[in-house]
């Protein structure tokens, strides 16, 4: 028979935290010891405050919450992380000072982690003889994350920072410039504009000022509610950085419908032009889903049995490429032509 003392200062664990309009930070917390009441000063991670409102899971207001009761706490000045301990104290000023000290320590730890990583890179450079392999270029995709709850922010950040796209000459990684909870604001868009970053809004919106700023400064805001969709989009963006769009203006695309193996000619892709024009003299790239699998030139372009220079939208054709025969059904061929 497990029991907890309700007649003491409250202690609990933050399950998740989010920001809501008109309420500020709302932290879902499980009270483990004591009783939390309206007006209690408290600290939770690097945030502090005084309880302004308590609500249960149905949105009903409570005057207090005892042991084993999950409750939504409103009144803190920041956004705690999932797993942070909520503790009630007597002096609000002392608690605020403690929260500031925790934030300072957190920043110092991040700085120390950066320094450690930098030292490891320098040590690896020295061990390799002090030379840098200039044949392998490092590129980054800058992003700014806004989400509805802190747990989503951390999950998105960890997933994105683990993504890597590379080939024999280049490696692309994701750099999270800033992350937080709540709607996308004008300042978020300004930061993205300065850093040429992509703004990810996960289960949140952008306020009017942010949307106006994004239109003015040509910043894209991606709205998502499914993590997989966002990661798939990011994979495509990383592939675009790894293998940029071929030189020239986009002229059209075709989809590979069937494959044929024709003796000395080799493998030929039977395609349908689904947009614009496919021009034999143009540059092409072949996409398999979000991944770019080939960039080069068309070797042969035929309509029925005749060699042609152009295939228009709605027409079918056969094509193969210089030095590449790894086509698959479903691949998309994009064509780009140089402006005169």
Range from 20-29, 77-86, 309-318 that averages highest in pLDDT: 309-318
| pLDDT at site 42 | 93
- Worst-scoring range by mean pLDDT, 90-104, 158-172, 265-279, 311-325? 158-172
Helix, strand, coil percent values for the chain (each to nearest 5): 25, 45, 30
Q: Are 205 and 173 spatial neighbours (Cβ–Cβ below 8 Å)? A: no
Residue 3 φ then ψ, to 5°: -135, 160
What is the CA 218 to chain-centroid distance, rounded? 19
Asked whether residue 7 carries a pLDDT value surpassing 80, the answer given is yes
Q: Is the pLDDT of residue 22 over 70?
A: yes
Residues 6+ apart with CB under 8 A from 258: 269, 270, 329
| Cβ proximity of 292 and 286 under 8 Å | yes
Is it the case that residue 128 has pLDDT exceeding 60? no
Q: What is the pLDDT averaged over residues 217-241?
A: 89
Tokens (6 digits) for 232: 């798939």
Residue 202 pLDDT level (bands cut at 50, 70, 90): very high
CA nearest to 205, candidates 223, 188, 181, 189: 223
Q: Where does the pLDDT of residue 125 fall: very low under 50, low under 70, confident under 90, or very high at 90 and above?
A: low
**pLDDT at position 117:** 66
pLDDT averaged over the chain?
Answer: 86
């Amino acid at each position: 028979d497990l029991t907890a003392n309700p007649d003491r200062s409250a202690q609990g664990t933050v399950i998740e935290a989010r920001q809501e309009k008109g309420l500020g930070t709302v932290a879902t917390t499980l009270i483990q010891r004591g009783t939390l009441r309206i007006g209690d000063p408290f600290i939770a991670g690097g945030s502090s405050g005084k309880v302004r409102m308590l609500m249960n899971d149905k949105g009903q207001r409570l005057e207090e919450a005892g042991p084993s009761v999950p409750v939504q706490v409103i009144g803190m000045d920041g956004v705690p992380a999932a797993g942070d301990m909520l503790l009630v104290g007597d002096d609000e000023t002392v608690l605020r000072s403690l929260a500031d000290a925790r934030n300072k320590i957190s920043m110092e730890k991040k700085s120390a982690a950066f320094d450690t990583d930098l030292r490891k890179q320098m040590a690896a450079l020295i061990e390799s003889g002090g030379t840098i392999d200039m044949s392998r270029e490092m590129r980054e995709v800058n992003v700014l994350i806004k989400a509805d709850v802190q747990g989503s922010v951390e999950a998105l950040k960890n997933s994105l920072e683990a993504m890597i796209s590379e080939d024999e000459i280049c490696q692309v990684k994701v750099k999270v410039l800033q992350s937080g909870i709540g709607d996308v604001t004008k300042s978020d868009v300004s930061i993205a504009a300065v850093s040429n970053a992509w703004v990810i809004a996960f289960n949140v919106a952008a306020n009017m000022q942010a949307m106006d700023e994004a239109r003015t400064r040509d910043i894209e805001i991606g709205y998502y509610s499914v993590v997989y969709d966002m990661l798939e989009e990011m994979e495509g963006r990383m592939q675009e950085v790894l293998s940029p769009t071929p030189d020239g203006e986009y002229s059209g695309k075709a989809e590979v419908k069937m494959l044929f193996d024709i003796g000395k000619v080799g493998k030929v892709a039977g395609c349908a032009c689904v947009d614009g024009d496919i021009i034999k003299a143009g540059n092409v790239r072949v996409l398999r889903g979000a991944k770019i699998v080939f960039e080069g030139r068309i070797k042969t372009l035929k309509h029925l049995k005749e060699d042609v220079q152009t295939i228009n939208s709605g027409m079918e054709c056969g094509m193969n490429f210089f030095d590449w025969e790894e086509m698959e059904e479903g691949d998309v061929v994009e064509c780009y032509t140089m402006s005169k």
